[in-house]
């Protein structure tokens, strides 16, 4: 066996059968990424292979976590203009074209993460083998960054598996496991680790005819059928991603519609299209959001903490779902409440969650086995983390923690899931107030990635860092916030919701209010959101916030709650509900929409954003954007509220706010922090 070390990022071996094995092993990183430097090394290796002409080439990764995680996203942010972007993309295409043109069999052997450019590289091989286990995920998630595959992936995937499968994978950005990939035709073999090399070797030594899409799949690419399919795809995508907000998926459909018949032309068009997209605001903001996520993920990385057992008190919607989520993530959980009656519904919800997420009966059973109903509260003594998720009442929480504190181990984290009560109001009764933190989850727990990790001045920094680490352990995004009333997300969201209530009271149709908010880029309108959360809960939180902040609670909200109109759960709130869906009355004929509706809602939100920044509720301005995007779904293509202020200009927004103050009074009074924000864009972020 001969080994050559060309670049430090990858090396080749030739075995006794004259098969070349090319190993990706990016130096100084735990993950293989396709940076410009790695691509260059790879290109050199390919030239070398061409010269040696082995019997076949097998590409593998030496990283335990996966094959190749994709392009280096940070490089995207350094692109200065479209020409530069186009150049970078075309270079990448050229490398993969070279790989695709090799005259001997080529095989990509994939395990773990194989995403974006990594999968595009594999697609340029003649064959693919994937390791069949739970860690292997294959996908082209580029649309989530506001672009689409650019290294020939959209061309090669369509040719390999057919347009329907290819478009589904690329438009949704979802990842698939090895078996699904095998069914689609994306990989030739899905085999366990023990057969990976044998499978690759077999493909080289006895090369079969490469995979072709099935008849129906092939038909969908026919020139006569394409326009119809494209129309359907456009419509389906538009329901989730409006073209004006998220142009990438629509560009991808167009690319395929126009060029699917000519491979070369499609390659060119693909590069042009990605170059257009990548320098646009949506892609740049989505890339920012992705990097914000990475930033939150990196928090607590150095902390040494691993929870084996979590005890959750309160089996209501939040407590039950937190417990289920922890069990799903592999932790033993005891779920306590006053009686089995209260716990049983949470077990049912957990079972549903596990079934949806895990699918295999064996895995579902394991997760169920980890989740132990505990109506006697025996789990307290064993817990590494105790999470309180009972109803929102300071006195009840105080007495609960008072009874728990003497029973827990000295190093157990005590956490409250309160959404609005300042920590010190609870921790005051503890012997060691410093060990209490907030772990504020959002509803629904399984789909909201954000967790606010709340600390106050008396909190032990060591406990806070462990709580952050715990949030990472259960694959949530920790957002460190200070224990200001309402913390970050709810506090900023509340004025926006209350303004919507105000607008509704003034006679603006709820449908219009929601439509304008969705038009701005929110995932759901504020009226429907309030109904979904429950108007009683909204009122309760608003009242608690009102005690601490200068927020007037609209009478309209109180009236509705008094009438028993609590939102979706009671069948009527602002909307009436039929089978859980709101009935939104049509707008009156000739209704003219008023642009100040969005302005009023968004500016109240932005005013609160500025206040939070001034009060340093978050440690980093970036965290604020991350919190709003991941905690409320704040228009991701806008990159977060601060990025939005930056884009429109603080002065402009301040002016609009002052105008609104003149018209509507006090509640639009600009926060003192606008002075600070005016220079925000240039502000250096302080580390730590």
Partner 1 sequence: MSAQTSTIAKGRPVYIIDGSRTPFLRARGKPGPFHAADLAFQAGRALLFRQPFSASVLDQVILGCVMPGPDEANIARVVALRLGCGDKVPAWTVQRNCASGMQSIDCAAHDIAAGRSDLVLAGGVEAMSHAPLLFGNAMTGWLGALRNARSPIKKLQAMAAFRPAYLKPVISLLRGLTDPIVGLSMGQTAEVLAHRFDIGREQMDAFALRSHQRLSDAMRDGHLDEIEVIYAHDGRFHDADDGLRDDSSMEKLAKLKPAFDRPFGNVTAGNSAQITDGAACLLMASEEAVREYGLAVMGQLKDSAWAGLNPEEMGLGPVHAMAPILARNHYDSGDIDYWEINEAFAAQVQACLMAWQDERFCTDVLGMDGAFRAIDEERLNTDGGAIAIGHPVGASGARIVLHLLKTLQRTDSRRGIASLCIGGGQGGAMLLERVDS
Active-site residue list: 440
* DSSP class per residue in 182-224: HHHTS-SEEE-GGGHHHHHHHHHHS--PPP---HHHHHTTSTT
Min dist CB 409 to partner 1, Å, is 14
* DSSP class per residue in 269-330: HHHHHHHHHHTSHHHHHHHHHHHHHHHHHHTTTT-----SEEEEE--SHHHHHHHHHHHHTT
Residue 306: how many CB atoms within 10 A of its CB? 11
Distance CA 357, CA 69 (A): 22
Q: Which two tokens stand for residue 1?
A: 């066996």
Contact assessment for residue 667 and residue 552, using Cβ atoms and an 8 Å cutoff: yes
Report the alpha-carbon angle 483-489-492, nearest 5: 100
Report the alpha-carbon angle 219-120-232, nearest 5: 35
Distance CA 324, CA 354 (A): 8
Distance CA 388, CA 379 (A): 13
Choose between 225 and 378: whose C-beta lies nearer to partner 1. Answer: 378
- Residue 219's contacts (CB-CB under 8 Å, 6 or more residues apart) are 225
Min dist CB 379 to partner 1, Å, is 8
Distance CA 367, CA 371 (A): 7
Residue with tokens 């010190």: 424
Choose between 280 and 373: whose C-beta lies nearer to partner 1. Answer: 373
Min dist CB 56 to partner 1, Å, is 39
Choose between 376 and 662: whose C-beta lies nearer to partner 1. Answer: 376
Residue with tokens 């698939």: 176
Min dist CB 230 to partner 1, Å, is 43
Contact assessment for residue 182 and residue 190, using Cβ atoms and an 8 Å cutoff: yes
Identify residues 345-374 at the interface with partner 1 (CB under 8 A). 345, 347-349, 351, 365-366, 368-369, 372-373
- Residue 587's contacts (CB-CB under 8 Å, 6 or more residues apart) are 509, 511, 512
Min dist CB 340 to partner 1, Å, is 4
Which x/- pattern, by CB under 8 A, does the window 125-164 give for partner 1? Answer: ----------------------------------------
- Residue 312's contacts (CB-CB under 8 Å, 6 or more residues apart) are 319, 320, 322, 323, 326, 333, 334, 335, 336, 386, 387, 389
Choose between 212 and 348: whose C-beta lies nearer to partner 1. Answer: 348
Q: Which two tokens stand for residue 67?
A: 């094959």
Min dist CB 335 to partner 1, Å, is 10
407 touches partner 1 (CB under 8 A): no
Stretch of residues binding partner 1 (CB under 8 A), selected from 71-79, 247-255, 376-384, 520-528? 376-384
Distance CA 23, CA 35 (A): 16
378 touches partner 1 (CB under 8 A): yes
Choose between 334 and 420: whose C-beta lies nearer to partner 1. Answer: 334
Min dist CB 611 to partner 1, Å, is 43
Q: Single out the residue of 6, 344, 358, 515 in contact with partner 1 (rule: CB under 8 A).
A: 344
Distance CA 430, CA 406 (A): 9
Stretch of residues binding partner 1 (CB under 8 A), selected from 340-348, 470-478, 520-528, 600-608? 340-348
Q: Single out the residue of 227, 340, 564, 649 in contact with partner 1 (rule: CB under 8 A).
A: 340
Report the alpha-carbon angle 270-271-272, nearest 5: 90
DSSP label at residue 575: S
Choose between 369 and 395: whose C-beta lies nearer to partner 1. Answer: 369
Min dist CB 369 to partner 1, Å, is 5
Contact assessment for residue 56 and residue 200, using Cβ atoms and an 8 Å cutoff: no
Q: Single out the residue of 261, 294, 341, 395 in contact with partner 1 (rule: CB under 8 A).
A: 341
Size of the site for partner 1 (CB under 8 A): 19
Min dist CB 311 to partner 1, Å, is 12
324 touches partner 1 (CB under 8 A): no
Choose between 334 and 417: whose C-beta lies nearer to partner 1. Answer: 334
Min dist CB 367 to partner 1, Å, is 11
Strand pairing class (189-191; 137-139): unpaired
Residue 200: how many CB atoms within 10 A of its CB? 27
Distance CA 503, CA 457 (A): 38
Choose between 161 and 336: whose C-beta lies nearer to partner 1. Answer: 336
Contact assessment for residue 394 and residue 420, using Cβ atoms and an 8 Å cutoff: no
Q: Single out the residue of 375, 540, 548, 558 in contact with partner 1 (rule: CB under 8 A).
A: 375
Choose between 344 and 430: whose C-beta lies nearer to partner 1. Answer: 344
Choose between 111 and 332: whose C-beta lies nearer to partner 1. Answer: 332
Binding stretches for partner 1 (CB under 8 A): 340-341, 343-345, 347-349, 351, 365-366, 368-369, 372-373, 375, 378-379, 382
């Amino acid at each position: 066996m001969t080994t050559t070390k060309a670049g430090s990022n990858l090396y080749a071996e030739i075995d006794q059968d004259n098969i070349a094995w090319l190993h990706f092993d990016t130096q100084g990183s735990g993950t293989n990424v396709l940076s410009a430097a790695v691509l260059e090394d790879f290109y050199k290796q390919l030239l070398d292979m061409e010269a040696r002409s082995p019997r076949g080439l097998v590409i593998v990764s030496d990283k335990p976590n996966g094959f190749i995680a994709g392009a280096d996203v940070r490089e995207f942010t350094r692109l200065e203009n479209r020409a530069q972007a186009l150049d970078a993309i075309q270079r990448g295409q050229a490398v993969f074209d070279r790989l695709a043109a090799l005259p001997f069999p080529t095989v990509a052997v994939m395990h773990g993460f194989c995403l974006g450019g990594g999968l595009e590289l594999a697609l340029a091989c003649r064959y693919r083998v994937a390791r069949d286990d739970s860690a292997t995920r294959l996908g082209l998630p580029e649309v989530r960054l506001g672009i689409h595959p650019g290294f020939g992936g959209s061309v090669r995937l369509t040719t390999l598996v057919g347009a329907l499968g290819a478009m589904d994978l690329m438009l949704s950005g979802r990842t698939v496991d090895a078996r699904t990939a095998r069914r689609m035709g994306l990989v030739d073999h899905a085999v366990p680790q023990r057969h990976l090399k044998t499978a690759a070797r077999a493909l080289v030594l006895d090369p079969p005819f490469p995979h072709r899409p099935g008849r129906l799949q092939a038909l969908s690419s026919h020139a006569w059928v394409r326009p119809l399919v494209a129309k359907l795809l456009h419509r389906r995508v538009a329901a989730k991603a409006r073209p004006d907000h998220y142009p990438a998926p629509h560009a991808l459909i167009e690319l395929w519609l126009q060029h699917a018949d000519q491979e070369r032309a499609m390659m060119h068009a693909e590069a042009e299209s990605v170059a257009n997209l990548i320098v646009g605001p949506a892609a740049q903001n989505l890339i920012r959001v992705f990097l914000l996520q990475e930033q939150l993920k990196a928090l607590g990385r150095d902390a040494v903490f691993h929870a084996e057992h979590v005890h959750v008190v309160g089996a209501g919607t939040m407590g039950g779902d937190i417990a289920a989520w922890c069990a799903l993530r592999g932790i033993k959980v005891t779920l306590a409440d006053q009686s089995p009656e209260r716990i049983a519904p949470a077990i049912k919800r957990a079972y549903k969650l596990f079934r949806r997420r895990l699918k295999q009966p064996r895995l579902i059973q394991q997760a169920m086995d980890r989740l132990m109903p505990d109506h006697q509260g025996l789990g307290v003594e064993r817990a590494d983390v105790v999470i309180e998720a009972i109803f929102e009442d300071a006195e009840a929480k105080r007495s609960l923690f008072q009874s728990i504190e003497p029973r827990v181990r000295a190093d157990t984290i005590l956490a409250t899931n309160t959404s609005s009560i300042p920590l010190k109001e609870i921790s005051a009764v503890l012997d060691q107030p410093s060990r209490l933190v907030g772990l504020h989850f959002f509803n629904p727990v399984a789909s909201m990635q954000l967790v606010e990790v709340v600390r106050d001045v008396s909190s032990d920094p060591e406990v806070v860092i462990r709580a952050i680490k715990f949030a990472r352990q259960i694959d949530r995004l920790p957002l460190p916030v200070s224990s200001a009333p309402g913390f970050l997300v709810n506090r900023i969201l509340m004025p926006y919701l209350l303004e919507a209530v105000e607008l509704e009271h003034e006679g603006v149709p709820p449908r219009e209010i929601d439509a304008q908010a969705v038009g701005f880029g929110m995932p759901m309108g504020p009226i429907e959101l309030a109904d979904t959360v429950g108007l009683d809960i909204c009122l309760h939180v608003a009242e608690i916030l009102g005690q601490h902040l200068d927020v007037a609670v609209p009478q309209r909200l109180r009236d509705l709650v008094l009438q028993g109109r609590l939102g979706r759960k009671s069948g009527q709130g602002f909307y009436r509900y039929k089978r859980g869906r709101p009935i939104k009355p049509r707008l009156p004929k000739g209704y003219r929409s008023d642009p100040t509706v969005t302005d009023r809602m968004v500016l109240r939100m932005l005013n609160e954003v500025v206040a939070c920044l001034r009060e340093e509720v978050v440690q980093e301005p970036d965290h604020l954007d991350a919190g709003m995007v991941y905690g409320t779904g704040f228009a991701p293509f806008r990159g977060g509220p601060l990025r939005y202020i930056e884009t429109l200009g603080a002065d402009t927004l301040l002016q609009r706010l002052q105008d609104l103050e003149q018209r509507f009074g006090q509640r639009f009074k600009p926060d003192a922090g606008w002075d600070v924000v005016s220079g925000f864009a240039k502000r250096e972020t302080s580390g730590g």
